[in-house]
A and B are shown apart, each in its own frame.
Chain A
Amino acid sequence: MTKLFATTALIATLAMPAYAIQPAEGETLAENQTYTYWLLDAIKSLDPAKNTDVEGSDALRSLFEGLMIEDASGAMVPGMAESHEISDDQLTYTFKLRDANWSNGEPVTAEDFVYAWQRVVNPETASEYAWYMELMNIENASAVVAGEMAPDQLGVRAIDDKTLEVTLSKPTPYFLNTLSHTTAYPVPRAVVEEHGDAWTQPQNLVGNGAYTLASHNLGVEIVFQKNPEYWDAENVLMETVRGVTVNDNNVALTRYQAGELDRVQIPAGQFPRLSEQFPDQAVSVPYGCSYAYVLNLSEKGPEALKDQRVREALALGLNREVIVDQVLQGGQRPAYSWTHWAINGFAAPEGGMAGMSQEERMARARELLAEAGYGPDNPLKLQLQYNTDDSHRLLAIAAQQFWRPLGIEIELNNVEWKVHTDRLQNQDFEVARYAWCADYNEASTFLDWFRTDGYNSGKWSNEEYDRLLAEAATAEDTTPLYQRAEEILAEEVPAVFVYHYAKVDMINPAIKGLPRENLLNTWYAKDLYRTAE
């Protein structure tokens, strides 16, 4: 049964309080409303408190819903929270929850949020994302995470079944933006307590999202079915969503071409060919992640890197245009700032390296290295560490070749992910590949990384930088502060920024509703539908 949606769509849009994607005029819905997407690997956990990766978040967005959700452009729209009020001191947020049910028919209450958030910060849960509640600046979050306070001291409480009050430790302009993150999702207390860790298995899992978990065969596929209990179920068109694991990207592309998948990532270097062959399917949109070579400036790091001139020469010598245009070839952009170019309200500082030609950069780099006492006669020897992945490998090889003419000899050291992160955290590296993805659409999500107390694997530290970011947390106009912070990064080069990500995918043109303007590329299966040929 296919039905024409021309008129009903209009009515639905008008009647809808919240936002939902509906078929455009003239589109016919396909009979089979199934969306099949690609997963590189098995999803590790479906517990909102334990999930740490993108694939897990994609799945959780179908199974649960937070106070806020995002629309196609990434803007916040009400999810579980119908409305909210902010106190004058900007420290107290009061949310009014809508009438909604869990998939077992129980109502979603403010208590479910309180339980879930306390569970995240409770050291007994051992959530790897407990820091997220600290990022949200919820009162006492840090103390609870550190085990100094009981979890019920967290600044969140249920005033009644439908009213949730959150207290912050300081005014946080981005607070509402953090609410759509999977870590801030509610969980059903009774179910969690009944099944323990096994509560996220298909037969046990109870969620408040648009879909229920039909099956989860690790390493094979995960299947979601539309949840009739979902508050907005009548506007959900997609009936079934399948995540199919294919460990090899090239085979995944073959299977996409055979019609088995509706969306798949395009392997490095294949975008130009595919976009020529399939212009309506190959899609490249900006994606809020930045790639860098972090330099170890800690005591354990090499002496040479402590010389600012050497670091600057490394930054100058890396031919980012070639990396982007000839290696990745998927609409990525060269990075001269740490913050992704498309981040909301961010403008990269003028001038600097970005304006120079590669010849000028190389000449300048030679000068700097000569001043620092290095050159072809006295080569600078460094080790570049990267984790196992095809595109990291390609980039590392290219970087090695770019730096060679400057008399910099790079030894490549490929290690697996666990070793890589372990060494990063312990400063056991010289130069290491790293990438950071935005948690929310604001520059501080990137810039916080280099704060003295940030992740900052290279242990760079700058007082002015720290002060600027502290100021920005409460400032009205953050743009000049962030610009100055980026200028400091460009001067001191704690890391060589390489490129800003793009999400480069093949997408079945029959699938509508996948957001293309959302920098974080979060998508909600409930917004999707499949049109007939």
Chain B
Amino acid sequence: MFAFVLRRLAVAVPTLLLLIVFSFVLMHMAPGGPFTGERALPPQVLANLEAQYGLNDPLWQQIWNYLYGIVVHFDFGPSFVYPDRSVNQLIAAGFPVTLTYGGLSFVAAVVLGVSLGVVAAIWHNSWVDYMAVGISIGAQVLPNFVMAPLLVLVFTLWYRLLPGGGWSFTDPSFWIMPVIALATSYMASIARITRSSMLEVLGSNHIRTARAKGMPEHRVIIRHALKPAMLPVISYLGPVFVSMITGSVVIDIYFSTGGIGKAFVDSALNRDYAVMMGVTILVGALTILFNLIVDVLYAWIDPKIRY
């Protein structure tokens, strides 16, 4: 197990490196640079700016300097577009926000999704089941860029219950709509997966045995069925986490939460090379970490799997 974790971490380094080089090259190939404005800059000014940010070095040199800065000083450089902020500051400001509503959405999606799935499986083919399936399919396909403005309309304009946007770490009323908008479709997917996997487990031999022994139904479910039924759900959690970070673009756009999703899209559009690289590396690292956690969790639940 330990060796497995180590091996996976060893792969992480070349992965990140590949990601950095790829994004770096892609970014610099794009037409327009961070200083392309409405009016062309005087050559002297442009030369100074490029020298200031090291853009006149050869590309390999730039990549090298960039990596050096990260490894040695943990410095991701200055933002090209927000001159008074460094990338570290921008990420330090945006990431906790994304992590907060992302984390809450994640928990909400898993808890509600699993509950809904289990309930539907237990009362298989009853109206509860049909309702649960209906809800989960509907919720799965409603794009969150439809849901988000709808939520603002309903909760902010019509019922005046929640603030229509903004962010505060202390006031949960700012968290509710982002979490609903982000969690719903994942909740639905998790519910579907849980339901079908639960049904499979409930039909299996060892559950029949447990029932035959006269074990009460709730104990059968909690003690014997839930754990194996969770396997497919767990393998789904890695992708969920990653798409939640990506999906946070929509949340940041509609709810002005100031997270890193919007920061990424903006940095790509503004050619803010440093911010874009910073966010890409962050999300890449998180993806690797999360896939690892999921694999470890998987192995822990399913002893058949050996690495």
- A touches B (Cβ under 8 A): yes
Binding site for B on A (CB under 8 A): 41-42, 44-47, 50, 52, 123-124, 126-128, 130-131, 145-147, 197-201, 217-221, 244-248, 250-251, 254-255, 257-258, 260, 416-419, 421-423, 425, 455
Known: A127-B45, A220-B256. Contact between A52 and B37, CB under 8 A? yes
Cβ-defined contact, B82 with A42, below 8 A: yes
- Pairs A-B, 4 closest by C-beta atoms: A418-B32, A422-B32, A220-B258, A255-B164
Assess whether A246 is in contact with B156, with CB atoms less than 8 Å apart.
no
Contact B42 A131 (CB under 8 A): yes
Complex-state Cα separation, A260 to B258, whole angstroms: 18
Q: What residues of chain B lie closer than 8 Å to A46, measured between beta carbons?
A: 84
Q: Are B165 and A246 in contact (CB under 8 A)?
A: yes
Find out whether the CB atom of B256 lies under 8 angstroms from the CB atom of A197.
no
Q: For B257, what are the chain A residues with a Cβ–Cβ distance below 8 Å?
A: 219-220
8 A–B pairs (Cβ distance < 8 Å), ordered by A: A123-B42, A201-B84, A219-B257, A220-B258, A244-B165, A244-B256, A251-B254, A455-B39
For residues 29 through 75 of chain B, which have their beta carbon under 8 Å from a beta carbon of chain A?
Answer: 30-33, 35-42, 44-49, 52
Given contacts A46-B84, A416-B269, is CB(A145)–CB(B166) below 8 Å? no
Bound-state CA distance A52–B164 (Å) is 29
Cβ-closest chain A residue relative to B160: A258
Residues in chain B near residue A423, CB distance under 8 A = 31
- Given the interface contacts A201-B84, A419-B31, does A258 sit within 8 Å of B253 by beta carbon? no
Chain B residue nearest in CB terms to A49: B83
Q: Which residues of B contact A (CB under 8 A)?
A: 30-33, 35-42, 44-49, 52, 78, 81-85, 90, 93-94, 148-149, 152-153, 156-157, 160, 163-167, 252-254, 256-258, 262-263, 266, 269-271
Query: What are the residues of chain B within 8 A of A42 when measuring CB–CB?
Result: 82, 266
Contact B258 A421 (CB under 8 A): no
Taking CB atoms, residues of chain A closer than 8 Å to B30 are 418-419
User: Which residues of the partner chain B approach A425 to less than 8 Å between Cβ atoms?
Assistant: 36, 40
Q: In the assembly, what is the distance between CA of A130 and CA of B45, in Å?
A: 9
Which residues of the partner chain A approach B165 to less than 8 Å between Cβ atoms? 244, 246, 251, 255, 260
State how many angstroms separate the Cβ of B175 from the closest Cβ of chain A.
14
Q: How far is the CB of A508 from chain B (nearest CB, A)?
A: 15
Complex interface: chain B residues within 8 A of A45 (CB): 82-84
Please state if B258 and A217 are interface contacts (CB–CB under 8 Å): yes
- Please judge, given known A-B contacts A45-B82, A244-B256, A419-B31, whether A260 and B163 are in contact too, CB under 8 Å: yes
B166 x A218 contact (CB < 8 A): no
B80 to chain A, nearest CB (A): 10
Known: A218-B85, A254-B149. 16 other contacts (CB 8 A): A41-B266, A42-B82, A45-B83, A128-B35, A145-B42, A217-B93, A218-B94, A220-B167, A246-B165, A247-B252, A251-B148, A251-B164, A255-B156, A258-B156, A417-B269, A422-B32
Contact A255–B44 (Cβ < 8 Å): no
Residues of A within 8 A of B39 (CB): 128, 131, 455
Set of chain A residues within 8 Å of B258, measured between Cβ atoms: 217-220, 245
The docked-state distance in angstroms from the alpha carbon of A131 to that of B42 is 8
A198 to B164, CA, bound (A): 31
Asked whether A44 lies within 8 Å of B32 as measured between CB atoms, the reply is no
- With A and B bound together, what is the CA distance between A505 and B90 in angstroms? 31
Name the residue of chain A whose CB is nearest to the CB of B249: A247
In the complex with contacts A247-B262, A260-B156, A417-B269, A44-B253 CB distance below 8 A: no
Residues in A with CB closer than 8 Å to B254 are 247-248, 251
CA of A533 to CA of B33 in the docked complex: distance in angstroms?
50
Q: How near does chain A come to B36, taking the closest CB pair, in angstroms?
A: 5
A198 to B84 alpha-carbon distance, docked (Å):
4
- Within 8 Å CB of A246, what residues of B? 165, 256
Q: A258 contacts B44, CB within 8 Å?
A: no
* Cβ contacts under 8 Å, A418 to chain B: 30-33, 36, 269-271
CB distance from B94 to the nearest CB of A (A): 8
Chain B proximity of A53: nearest CB distance (Å): 9
Do A251 and B149 form a contact, CB below 8 Å, given A146-B44, A245-B256, A421-B32? Answer: yes
Would B152 and A251 count as touching, CB distance under 8 A? yes
State A455–B256 Cα separation when bound (angstroms). 35
Interface core residue of A128, A200, A244 (most chain B CB under 10 Å) = A128
Q: Chain A residues near B35: list those with CB within 8 A.
A: 128
Verify B252–A219 contact, CB threshold 8 A.
yes
Least CB distance, B104 to chain A, in whole angstroms: 18
**Given that A126-B52, A251-B152, A422-B31 are contacting pairs, would A197 and B42 also be in contact in the complex, using a CB cutoff of 8 Å?**
no
A130, B32: Cα distance in complex, Å: 20
For residue B46, give the distance in angstroms from its CB to the closest CB of chain A.
8
Residues of B within 8 A of A255 (CB): 152, 156-157, 164-165
| Nearest B residue (CB) for A425 | B40
A218-B256 contact in complex given A258-B156, A418-B32, C-beta closer than 8 Å: no
- In the bound complex, CA of A431 to CA of B157 (Å): 42
Pick from B36, B81, B94, B153: contact of A44, CB under 8 Å: B81
| Distance (whole angstroms) from the CB of B81 to the closest CB of chain A | 6
Q: Are A126 and B78 in contact (CB under 8 A)?
A: no
Which residues on A sit within 8 Å (CB–CB) of B32?
A: 418-419, 421-422
Contact of A247 among B44, B47, B256 (CB under 8 A): B256
Inter-subunit contact B42/A247 (CB<8 Å) = no
Instruction: Give Cα A247–Cα B253 distance, bound, in whole angstroms.
Output: 5
From B46, B83, B148, B269, give the contact of A47 (CB < 8 A).
B83
The answer to whether B164 and A130 have CB atoms under 8 Å apart is no
Is the Cβ of B269 less than 8 Å from the Cβ of A254?
A: no
Given A418-B36, A421-B38, check contact A50 B166 (CB 8 Å). no
Q: In the bound complex, what is the Cα–Cα distance between A197 and B77 (angstroms)? A: 13
Task: Report chain B residues within 8 Å CB of A245.
Answer: 256, 258
Bound state CA distance, A46 and B83, in angstroms? 9
Contact at B36–A422, with CB atoms within 8 Å? yes
